[in-house]
Structure 1
Amino acid sequence: MVTIVPVDQFIADGGYPGYTPLGDRADWLVKPSGPFREADEQRFWFLDFHWPQGLTPMGLACVEDVYSWGTQLAAEALPVPIGRGIAHRIAGTHIYAAAIEVTHEAQVAERTRRLRASLPAFVNNFDAIWAARVGEIGAWWDRLWSVDVSSLSRPELGEYLREARRFHRRAFEIHFEVMYPLLINYLGFHRACTGMGIAPGEVAKFLQGYDTKIMETDRTLYTLARKARQAGLREVFVAHAAHDLRGALSRRGGRAASWLTEFDDFLRLYGDRAEGTSDIALPSWAEDPTPPLKMIKSFLRDDADHDFAAARNAAVEEREAAIDAARAGLTSPEQEIFDAGLASCQVANFPWWQDEHNLWIDLRASLPLRWACLRVSDAVGAGRPDDALFLFWPELMAVVDGTTPYDTLRQLVEDRRQYFDHWQQRRPDMPKILGTVPDAVTDPILIEVFGLDRHFLQAVSAGDGHTEVRSLTGMPAAGGVARGIARVLFDAAGLHRVQRGDVLVCESTSPNWTPAFGKVAACVCDGGGSLSHAAIVGREYRIPTVTAVGVATTVIQDGDEIEVDGTRGVVTVLRRAARIESLGAVS
């Protein structure tokens, strides 16, 4: 029997006040963005975990660059044999995505032929290609970063905005022109391994244990926490809210002032990143250092720090042992195939890149656009600094170019802000999937990155998100068994609530969640496959992780005691929060 999850409620909603579909004027290659339509119910859509807070109107423009342009351009240029990128629809302020499939056999065959001709050169030259792309992004970033937007005239601000939008779009062109061949190369190796009898869960281990900029950032945060403890500043952090900490430390002087100098040095190196993926509504750490200060404060609750060196060594040892064990079970001809595939994936390492690229692209590409929008708000005398984020791109440019007086949009901006707040509160209840649900997803990208495997589809289709369920299954992403109190979060803003030994339960993680992996006992995600951020970081930090559970955030309640078996992919609710509280186990 075919399962259909209706889209009617989102069609009836109508979207942001004053919203008109952007598909007739936004950049797209294969499929435009826009609101849900009746015909969309015939396709399969999944709730995208990258933007859990929802998106402002300017945020929706950024997503067009990511999906309607970035994925579709790269998938056509490579080409990806069975897909033409990702289409997306807007439900309230939230994003649902769908693969644009290629089903015609002759087209698949032709695209496969072209891919085989181009892929070897990419893999063999990956280091040089990626270095060149990082150099391009870095040079563009430096130009935009060096401009004092507060001094720009209206015409200059318009030019800066257009340049910032071009930068954002180009950053995501690079993102997917690199991601797709890396992933396809990995999946080819994965198929070869499983075809030779190697367990699927072992393959990702062969590529773990390599350092990234995101891990480097985490280590530096923990170092700052350790130095604060050594300087006797723990009580200052405990006694003040994160947004008051800078003032409190500054007033204390002495060692506190010295520590603040080191923290500012940290922000100069790592502060050009936000708390989410290409979300223009989120400030950078340099603009608002509250998120890293919250994390440091949470680290200081503990007497022990995460041992990064031990975790790294364990990841490397597990990698080498897994490779040796896999080779030992193969014939000599099979070993040659294995060695060649492994070597290509070590040169062009997708799990490493999946975390590494975030610093250069996902966490900061939207920041120049944000700076310019804040300047627009100031220039037109808007009521709040971020009011310009509640304009759609054509409206924003019309205000900057002087063709639309901002005063005519003030009430509309306020109405849209209320609309955003309404839909942000609805996120926990958003359907995980919409439209016609297939028996199985064939696109390996949707399986390995988004975690849309057969079990995920069954779990969300059954609607078994009720409290009576005590055992859940998902994808065994990072091995080991751990128990702890569940902290159910829908975005990273609440990460400071997570205490050492807790179990993080969420839709999925992105790099802004990574510092918490140094103190959680385990991680459970609704979505995400073996190549998702949570899976990769779980393996690197030696944290048992189960992904693609589907209904974890609805079945598991905040405060439940749960057990996570990352080796088998099983999550068990041991005691409900109410029961624990009645026994005095938690305050």
Structure 2
Amino acid sequence: MSAPLKTFPKPSQLPVPAGAEGWEKLYPYNLVFQNLSGAEDEKFWFCDSQHWPTVFKPFETIGGEFAVKCLGQYNTRHLLIPPANGIEFKIHLGYLYMSPVAVPEDQMAARAPEFERRAGHYFQNWNSLLDNWKIKVRATIDEMEALQFKSLPDVVPFDDIVSGKAKDGSEVLMENYDRLIQLCYQNWQYHFEFLNLGYLAYLDFFGFCKEIFPGIADQSIAKMVQGVDMELFRPDDELKKLAALAIELGVDALLADTDDVAGTLERIANADNGQQWVDAYTAAQDPWFNFTVGNGFYGHDKYWLEHQEIPLGYIKDYVRRLHDGHQIMRPVAELTEERERIYTEYRDLTDGDTRALFEAKHQLASTAYPYVENHNFYIEHWTMGVFWRKVRELGQVFADAGFWADRSDMLYLTRGEVRDAIFDLVTGWAVGADATGPHYWPAEIERRRVIIDALSSQRPQPALNTPPERITEPFTMMLYGITTEQVEQWLAKDSGSDDGALTGMAASPGVVEGIARVVTHADQLGEVQEDEILVATITAPSWGPIFGKIKAVVTDIGGMMSHAAIVCREYGLPAVTGTGSGSTTITTGQVIRVDGNTGRVEVLER
């Protein structure tokens, strides 16, 4: 075995793909390394391919900017979490890199009392505060839904002359755009109000278990909070219920051609008992079809509400599985039974004050844990689904005015450039002359498209620069699986294994063998076959409908509390996360063994 490397490449050492020269000019100045005066080559950065697995188009940076900024504000300004400030983030070669900001050791103790006071308020009032959170988030979504982007009329209505309104409607276009951005930002602030507390409650329980039960497996701790009711699973559960109802009503055969959405629904509606099924299908859409097969951070993510061939196709597949005698429901009863058994076994090993603390910390972790996944539905899926739909509406206004060919072309502009383009549009309209945009943007968008495509041809480096001696920041370890051991394995070209096996986080228990299916994009999910092992950069929480088909999951990034790990445990699938290079080392068709108990992945047949 070759000696491990001691450092990852520096950003300045990474080659720019041919055709992507000048890529850094596509993004806001503050998001690229080039403006850090050399500091970019000093800090340790890791690529967050868990949330942003593909190259950003300029407008899409909004998700990364809002998410990481708002995460930081709760660590640093709201809660004063003793060991963790926020996360610095930059875009390099189109991908997002992060560098956790540590709290100096001599400042941690001073933050502790205020943190306990602030976090204690949330933990003591968790349910009422969370109920209010849902009201705030839903109000934001409703206001966003009400925003409209329409082309300006040839002339203002005569009623506006009579009323003395003295405005032409262009101000609405500008105000609605600004408000759309602000509402998106608002829900991202709400997003992190509870999230870090959910992680902290689990981390506190995790640390206490490690302290009083030396040698306890990470998975044993995770199992003590599994099997809880999560809203994130509701979209998938609704499809399963619709599949069972289709069989019950005898309309399941009419789901043969689900790509023809209108035709399928019409055929079912005209069948005996069919309208009952269509009514149930329609009722499930609000809100559960505000769900994407992606992760909500990209403008190209496909949402069920707008692409109903996707949920209909999943329903069709569930019907097939039911006819084949498969159990399609999540094994909640089994998970709950195992949870209670493991919890009771460990609780019975304690007594006195230790037992009281163990019970209290477990109760807190169990209460806060569901939010770790549930927030995904409200923010990444529902909020961002509405946001991207409104972005496309505005993009269509520009397309109708000749600024670009397709409504999605607006994604090649930064959000600041969009604001400038709006004024260009309304100025040309107001003065009765050509706007500049139609003469400028088509060629510029094509130039940028070439650069984005070139950047997309190169997978990101998993990390940059020299890692610290020890990685101690708890969120980085628990969420991303970026541990000292994993970084050392990434540094070793053969992943630190003499036999070529991949090692990662033992994220969900079980050992299986099967044929690998490498998926790098949600559009490839339709290629997944029965009993294959899914290998991906990362899985999205919304991939639940294919989890009934597969045997196991392997991902490049992710820790014990990553979405992939949590979802796999809830579906009873073995999983190894944080392998670093699973999706690039393994190829579709290889026979592999996944050991979710030890975090080991072996290629058995090449």
Give, in angstroms, the shift of residue 249 of structure 1: 5.4
Q: Which moved more, 1:463-472 or 1:401-410?
A: 463-472
Q: Distance in 2 between matches of 1:35 and 1:225?
A: 50
Q: CA deviation at 1:74?
A: 4.4
2:526 pairs, out of 469, 472, 496, with 496
CA distance in 1, matches of 2:496, 2:212: 40
Question: Is the CA contact 1:526–1:552 (under 8 Å) kept in the aligned structure 2?
Answer: yes
- Who is 1:358 aligned against? 376
In structure 2, C-alpha distance between the alignment counterparts of 1:140 and 1:20, rounded to whole Å: 28
**Matches of 2:278 and 2:457, distance apart in 1:** 35
What is the CA-CA distance between 1:210 and the residue it aligns to?
1.0
CA 1:365–1:327 in structure 2 vs 1: closer, same or farther (change >3 Å)?
A: same
Matched, 1:111 2:111: yes
Query: Once the 2 structures are TM-superposed, how far is the Cα of residue 445 of structure 1 from its aligned partner?
Result: 0.4
Q: Deviations over 1:505-545 (max 9, x none)?
A: 11222222222222221111111111111111112111111
1:18-75 CA-partner distances (Å, limit 9, x unpaired): 525342xxxxxxxxx3345542121111121212232221111232111134434543
Cα distance between partner residues in 2 of 1:122 and 1:251: 51
1:449 to 473, 479, 491: 479
What's 1:584 paired with?
none
Cα deviation, residue 470, structure 1: 4.6
Partner of 1:406: 437
* Equivalent AA in structure 2 for residue 295 of structure 1: Y
Counterpart code for 2:59:
M
* Aligned pairs for 1:131-210 within 5 A: 131-150=131-150, 153-197=169-213, 198-210=216-228
Contact 1:51 1:94 in 2 (8 A): yes
Larger Rg over CA atoms: 2
Deviations 1:335-383 (A, max 9, x none): 1221121122223x22x11211111111132334323332332222330
For residue 32 of structure 2, what is the amino acid of its counterpart? G
What does 1:546-585 correspond to in 2, within 5 Å?
546-576=576-606
Question: Comparing 494-503 with 415-424, which one deviates more in the overlay?
Answer: 415-424
Q: Is the 8 A contact 2:80 2:115 kept in 1?
A: yes
The verdict on how the C-alpha distance between 1:70 and 1:169 changes in structure 2, with shifts beyond 3 A counting, is farther
The whole-number CA distance in structure 2 between the counterparts of 1:135 and 1:70 is 21
- The Cα of 1:251 is off from its aligned counterpart by 6.0
The match for 1:377 is 395
In 2, Cα distance between equivalents of 1:386 and 1:310: 37
**Structure 1 residue 392: Cα displacement:** 0.4
Aligned twin of 2:270 = 254
Question: Which residue pairs with 1:284 in the alignment?
Answer: 303
Q: Which residue of 2 aligns with 1:326?
A: 346
1:124 touches 1:344 (CA, 8 Å); kept in 2?
A: no
Aligned residue in 1 for 2:291? 273
1:544, 1:565 within 8 Å by CA — same for their partners in 2?
Answer: yes
CA distance in 1, matches of 2:335, 2:182: 39
Is residue 57 from structure 1 mapped to residue 58 from structure 2 by the alignment? yes
Q: Which amino acid aligns with 1:285?
A: W
Stretch of structure 1 that moved more, 565-574 or 462-471: 462-471
Instruction: Give the corresponding residue for 2:9.
Output: 5
State the partner residue of 1:26: none
**Greater CA drift, 74-83 or 483-492:** 74-83
- The number of residue pairs the alignment matches comes to 560
CA distance in 1, matches of 2:373, 2:300: 22
1:373-413 CA-to-partner distances (Å, cap 9, x unmatched) read 32332222330121111110111011113367322222111
Q: Distance in 2 between matches of 1:425 and 1:469?
A: 30
2:552 is aligned to 522
Contact map agreement 2:32 2:92 (CA 8 A) in 1: no
Q: Give SS of 1:319's match.
A: helix
1:79·1:115 contact (CA, 8 Å) conserved in 2? yes
Q: Give yes or no for the alignment of 1:316 onto 2:336.
A: yes
Residue 261 (structure 1) shift = 5.1
With over 3 angstroms needed to count, the CA separation of the structure-2 counterparts of 1:480 and 1:11, relative to structure 1, is closer
User: Distance between the aligned counterparts of 1:440 and 1:79, measured in 2?
Assistant: 23
Q: Percent identity?
A: 26
The answer to whether the 8 Å contact 1:479/1:567 transfers is yes
Q: Cα 1:284–1:305, aligned 2, differ >3 Å: closer, same or farther?
A: farther
When structure 1 is superposed on structure 2, of 468-477 and 440-449 the one drifting more is: 468-477
CA contact (8 A) 2:330 2:571 kept: no
> Are the equivalent residues in 1 in contact too, given 2:28–2:414 (CA < 8 A)?
no
Task: Give 1:320 shift.
Answer: 0.2
Q: 1:119 to 1:376 in 2, by over 3 A?
A: closer
Q: Which residue number corresponds to residue 364 of structure 2?
A: 344
Indicate the SS of the match to 1:84.
Answer: strand
Instruction: For residues 62-106 of structure 1, give each alpha carbon's deviation from its aligned partner in whole angstroms, at most 9, with x where no partner exists.
Output: 32111134434543221122222122111232212221222x223
Normalised by the size of structure 1, how large is the TM-score?
0.87
> How many angstroms does 1:125 deviate by?
0.9
Which residue type is aligned with residue 308 of structure 2?
P
Whole-angstrom distance in 1 between the partners of 2:408 and 2:262: 23
TM-aligned CA deviation for residue 225 of structure 1: 3.3
Give the 3 Å change call, closer, same or farther, for CA 405–101 of structure 1 in structure 2: farther
Shift of 1:236: 6.3
Q: Are the aligned partners of 1:466 and 1:555 in contact in 2 as well (CA < 8 Å)?
A: no
Please give the TM-score of this superposition, normalised by the length of structure 2.
0.85
AA aligned to 2:409 is D
Q: CA deviation at 1:129?
A: 1.4
Cα distance between partner residues in 2 of 1:130 and 1:305 = 40
Please state whether the residue corresponding to 1:477 is helix, strand or coil.
strand
Matched, 1:386 2:428: no
Q: Distance in 2 between matches of 1:354 and 1:564?
A: 26
- Asked if residue 213 in structure 1 is aligned to residue 231 in structure 2, the reply is yes
Tell me the amino acid that sits aligned with residue 484 of structure 1. Answer: G
Matches within 5 A, 1:389-538: 389-402=411-424, 405-407=436-438, 408-426=440-458, 429-464=459-494, 470-538=500-568
Q: Contact 2:510–2:573 (CA<8 Å) still a contact in 1?
A: yes
Q: Deviations over 1:284-308 (max 9, x none)?
A: 3212224323433444553447636
Deviation at 1:141, TM superposition (A): 0.8
